Structure 1
Amino acid sequence: MLRQPPHHLLACPTCQADTNNGFTPEQQNCTACGQQFFDLQGMPCWFDVGLAQQQLWESLYALAIKSGQNNLERNRQRNLSDMLPSSVKRIHNMDAVNNSIVEAMDVLLNDMGLNKTVHPEFANYDPSRMLQYFELLLRDWAWDGAQHQAESENARELERISAAHKAIDKPLGDTWVIGAGAGRLSADIHHHLKPSHTIALDTNPVLISCAHRLVAQQKPWQLPEIHPGPQLGIPLTKVWPMNAPSYTNMDTWYAVAGNAWRPPLKQHSFDTLITPWFMDVNGREVRDLIGQVQKYLKPGGVWINTGPLLYGPDITDMHRYSHEEIIELLEVAGFEVIYQNKVQSPYLDTPLSEEKRIEQIWTFAAVAPSEFPPTYADINPPAWIVLPHLPIPTNQTFNTHGNPVLEHLVAQVNGTTCINDIADIMRPNLGEDKNPLEVVRGAFLEYLLK
């Protein structure tokens, strides 16, 4: 049975048609654009690329299992004749646990109904990205049992979100957790803080399938762990049982597989958006995330963010914004920052190790403007240049210099269009090596505003 969120939160991820204008969740298609979608054991898998996402996942699944089996076969061919019996025993034990990890992943994805089929267009893809966040599965659903509950990472993260929620002092309402991962935080929030509905959305098939299995299906699982370095008095390996806690009222919590940048969700329909450990690792710069959050929040809605600022290599130095810069960008967008907190906290603190990684975790809660577009701050460059999702005001003076291309750009300005919109219009006319956003923003800065 398809566990679909309520209609008032849904829209086609491909064309943004809502359920009154072509998107039919029950049939998993959109008559407005013709896109087809799929589910896995009742979990909606609604991507803007439709069934191509299923083929990608099937290919990654098959390639990952094959890669794991090949690695195990190579290990079996090692020459251990010069090793102590105790060393041989340890190596064979690690091989067995590695084999169990492969089998556990096979069980998870096979039970979800995913086929192991390599489609030609995805045959050369790297399957390792499916297991990129393997430790999150253990952190969310396994390690609690070996730690004092109040000291677990999951409990501390819920406490940070609860403090932000308390500072806002209003119900969470319809809530979207962006980058929900293996789902534990979203489920804890739903159980303890009681939003009206919670959408736990992630693009990783292993993580979101685990969330759906444990929370929605209430099916236990088990997952082995191998720690790479010996720790005195601590085993190298352990098989962890995985079960969801005794949650209540989870019939309005939904695991959804989707792309955070093209979600199957209706714009301006959420009371609360939560971004846990997402701001610095989503592949886009912070200004884009502010625009995406503002696009899906209701006027006056709340954004709660928590996590570090550990930007990945895909973010250039110029876009590695500081905490102070991010607050300033929020204010330019019209947000009112109500709450901020900074703590140091262990991260991925496995019971199989006495070493601990400590992260600085920054949590904030900000209220979106009650009207959009907000009243712009008097800054230079203009707010709508700094944040290209903000509409360009019609009272802005432009100098086209009689250039027909510039006149075409200015003709798009109607009080609701923004630089992002104009970049989308210009995209088909630009070469693949050109960034439409930078071209359009550059045209305004270098010519139209001078």
Structure 2
Amino acid sequence: MSSVPGQEKNTEERLEEAERLHFQKIVNSFKVYKDHSFSVINRKENYIKNLPNEHQKLLTKNGYTDMLKELRTCVEANNQIVAHILRDVENVFENSKHKNKGEKDKRTIPTGNDLERVQSCLKQLVRDWSEDGALEREQSYSKIIYKLCELYKEEERSQIKVLVPGAGLGRLAFDIAKSGFECQGNEFSLFMLFTSNFVLNKCKTENTFKIYPFIHNFCNNVSDSDQLKSVTFPDVNPNSLPEDSKFSMAAGDFLDIYNDLDYLNSQDCVTTCFFMDCAHNILDFIQTIYKVLKPGGYWINLGPLLYHFSDMPGESSIEPSYDCVKNIIVDFGFEFLEEEKNIVTNYDQNPASMLQYQYKSVYFCCKKK
């Protein structure tokens, strides 16, 4: 069946339009951070006004109303970071320019989930780029980096290509490059890409900026100070890599980018950390990792199987157990060299909170036969 003249062009134009609208929607999500945060505080303050006078006096006496006022100051401080993140954001991608068209388009209005992801980026700054996140990085990143350094001698690392899918704000990829490897991080989320661009390309010195990452967590606080805690970042200078370092970030869907023939048998090692459960079909991820690795290349993984699309409305997903996934990895042509289960790992946790989530993650190192 022949294609209708202009059909391919129209399809390309629709894709470009969808990309532009998505880009603007993420920009808008950051832009409304302050107003949205203030609206949450306003609702609480208005509710207090309708309480019995005796209750209002007790809340005032014991600092609750003052704490809400302090939250506004913290929101203002966070919004300054948001402004830094958005500065020149239309030029964040070398091969694409986005202008602020369609800012008022109804299709670019942020959802509640979008607004939560802006808040999540602030907490991710703690995990990846602050001293307060050192423990979580020790739990998750250190084991991967240690194994890499064990596999390759220091003098050969500059020639070893390491790929980090789902790189988030880029700290794992940065630390791998700092260890002497040629490293490329890959990230799909524009929330993460905007934020990582700010850290990696705009932060020039250590601990220059301050954020209040836990102000949106109103539950399970032992004291007001736990919710109002400030954190400085970055704990290292992102520009401290040696001049001859080979470190880059690739924006886009892992499956779209790395199934290209240019990447076939191109990587010496793939490291995945809290990434494999981000797939609709985890077999797609395994297959693509196998394709990009050189024969004899290594895959190092650490993380749980949360399966982000499980039970999500409008999304399809499969959720095989780890034992099932392990057998599939072997069937694809990998040999397991190391494996460790029940590794306690936290993710974006306020250590002072009454509620703590912990994963019992799985670590393994495989070799492509």
TM tier, smaller: 0.7 to 0.9
**Helix, strand or coil: the match of 2:276?**
coil
Residue 154 of structure 2 corresponds to residue 188 of structure 1: no
The answer as to whether partners of 1:211 and 1:255 remain within 8 angstroms in 2 is no
1: CA distance, partners of 2:330 / 2:367 = 10
2: CA distance, partners of 1:218 / 1:312 = 31
In structure 2, the partner of 1:243 is 234
Q: 1:278: Cα distance to partner?
A: 0.7
Distance verdict in 2 for CA 1:221–1:256, change over 3 Å: farther
Residue 248 of structure 2 corresponds to residue 254 of structure 1: yes
In structure 2, the partner of 1:350 is 350
Q: List per-residue Cα deviations over 1:223-273 (Å, max 9, x = no partner).
A: 222142321484321332211514432641112322112127632221111
1: CA distance, partners of 2:192 / 2:148 = 26
Distance verdict in 2 for CA 1:276–1:245, change over 3 Å: same
Q: Name which of 140, 146, 160 aligns with 2:143.
A: 160
Any residues of structure 2 matched to 1:17-416 within 5 Å, and which? 52-66=18-32, 68-70=34-36, 72-73=38-39, 75-76=41-42, 78-79=45-46, 80-81=48-49, 82=53, 83-84=56-57, 85=60, 86-113=63-90, 117-118=102-103, 120=105, 122-124=107-109, 126=111, 127-128=114-115, 130-131=117-118, 133-134=120-121, 135-142=123-130, 144=131, 146=132, 152-165=135-148, 168-169=151-152, 173-192=160-179, 194-195=180-181, 197-219=182-204, 220-225=208-213, 226=215, 227-228=217-218, 229-232=220-223, 234-246=225-237, 247-249=240-242, 251-263=245-257, 266-268=262-264, 269-280=266-277, 282-314=278-310, 319-342=318-341, 343-353=343-353, 355-369=355-369
Structure with greater contact order relative to length (CA < 8 Å, sep ≥ 6): 2
The answer as to whether partners of 1:212 and 1:255 remain within 8 angstroms in 2 is no
Letter in 1 for 2:128: D
**Helix, strand or coil: the match of 2:287?**
helix
Distance verdict in 2 for CA 1:54–1:365, change over 3 Å: farther
1: CA distance, partners of 2:80 / 2:367 = 45
Kindly report the root-mean-square deviation, in angstroms, between the aligned alpha carbons of the 2 structures.
Answer: 3.4
**Helix, strand or coil: the match of 2:254?**
coil
Q: 1:307: Cα distance to partner?
A: 0.5
Letter in 2 for 1:257: A
Distance verdict in 2 for CA 1:224–1:233, change over 3 Å: closer
1: CA distance, partners of 2:41 / 2:311 = 37
Q: 1:218: Cα distance to partner?
A: 3.4
The answer as to whether partners of 1:348 and 1:357 remain within 8 angstroms in 2 is no
Q: 1:209: Cα distance to partner?
A: 2.9
Letter in 1 for 2:283: R
2: CA distance, partners of 1:258 / 1:318 = 20
1: CA distance, partners of 2:334 / 2:40 = 56
Q: List per-residue Cα deviations over 1:77-135 (Å, max 9, x = no partner).
A: 74344434332211111233234334422321224346655264733553336427332
In structure 1, the partner of 2:4 is none
The answer as to whether partners of 2:310 and 2:317 remain within 8 angstroms in 1 is no
The answer as to whether partners of 1:216 and 1:254 remain within 8 angstroms in 2 is no
1: CA distance, partners of 2:16 / 2:337 = 39
Distance verdict in 2 for CA 1:315–1:354, change over 3 Å: closer
Higher mean alpha-carbon deviation, 183-192 vs 159-168, is at 159-168
2: CA distance, partners of 1:329 / 1:299 = 18
The answer as to whether partners of 1:273 and 1:293 remain within 8 angstroms in 2 is yes
Letter in 2 for 1:210: T
Letter in 2 for 1:256: A
The answer as to whether partners of 2:140 and 2:345 remain within 8 angstroms in 1 is no
In structure 1, the partner of 2:3 is none
1: CA distance, partners of 2:66 / 2:256 = 49
The answer as to whether partners of 2:164 and 2:272 remain within 8 angstroms in 1 is yes
2: CA distance, partners of 1:100 / 1:301 = 45
Q: Give the count of matched residue pairs.
A: 318
Letter in 2 for 1:200: G
Q: 1:309: Cα distance to partner?
A: 1.6
Q: List per-residue Cα deviations over 1:294-345 (Å, max 9, x = no partner).
A: 2222222221111112223537999322222222111111111111122123
Q: 1:183: Cα distance to partner?
A: 1.1
Q: 1:360: Cα distance to partner?
A: 0.8
1: CA distance, partners of 2:37 / 2:269 = 44
Letter in 2 for 1:218: C
Q: Name the larger-Rg structure.
A: 1
> What is the TM-score with the length of structure 1 in the denominator?
0.61
1: CA distance, partners of 2:110 / 2:40 = 21
